[in-house]
Amino acid sequence: MITLLPKLKYVAALLLLTATATIAQTKYKTRHIGNKPRDGSANSSFDLRKGNQVGIKMNIGHKPVQLLKFHFDVQNGNSDSLKFKVNVYRFSDEGPQEKLFSQDIYGAAPTGKSCVNVDLEPYNLQAKGTILVAIESLHDYGGDNHFPIGILNGGTWTYKNNHWKKIPIIGVDFNMLVAKI
């Protein structure tokens, strides 16, 4: 019994350390919003000239959440990486409204097929209700880019020539990881 006591203390300390690490990993209660990512599904190209945007509407709910990660897949056929800015807009029945955040959040998709993840956590962005999340092209890329899309995904919104337009039925597979506050 006396020789087991130090071993039991060691086991108890190990269990406590494991429990602490597990709690730290589940710091947030998270969920995904937006369209689910697909591989090998239909693709769509967009005219990504400087200032043009492509995005989708996402419903967060009535309670505020923190935006943690923005994700999408792309096949970039250009000779340079696809540089973009992530924009988040308030969304109403009339469509996209004002931009919710003043911070500039930049990202880039390398040439070829890639999975793009933009870490939003350092910006401490909080939102609620319905939003539109879009990528804004920072250079002229043309249409040699392909985004996976889903049919009956609620549509895709494009911004071109200072005007938002909805492409019905097909939705780009953008999604976001959010956490309850």
CATH class, range 30-180: mainly beta
pLDDT at 23: 42
Q: Which of 144, 136, 138, 133 is nearest to 111 (CA)?
A: 144
Give the domain ranges of the chain. 30-180
The 10s digit of each residue's pLDDT in 52-99 is 999 999 999 999 999 999 999 998 888 889 999 999 999 999 999 999
CA atoms within 13 A on the CB side of 37: 14
Low-confidence ranges of the chain (pLDDT < 50): 1, 11, 13-25
Residue with the two structure tokens 């807009």: 89
Strands (E), 101-168: 105-109, 112-119, 126-137, 145-151, 156-160, 163-167
Is residue 100 within 8 A of residue 145, CB to CB? The reply is no
Is residue 68 within 8 A of residue 178, CB to CB? The reply is yes
Helices then strands, counting H and E runs in the chain, come out as 1, 13
CA dihedral 91, 154, 35, 114 (to 10 degrees): -100
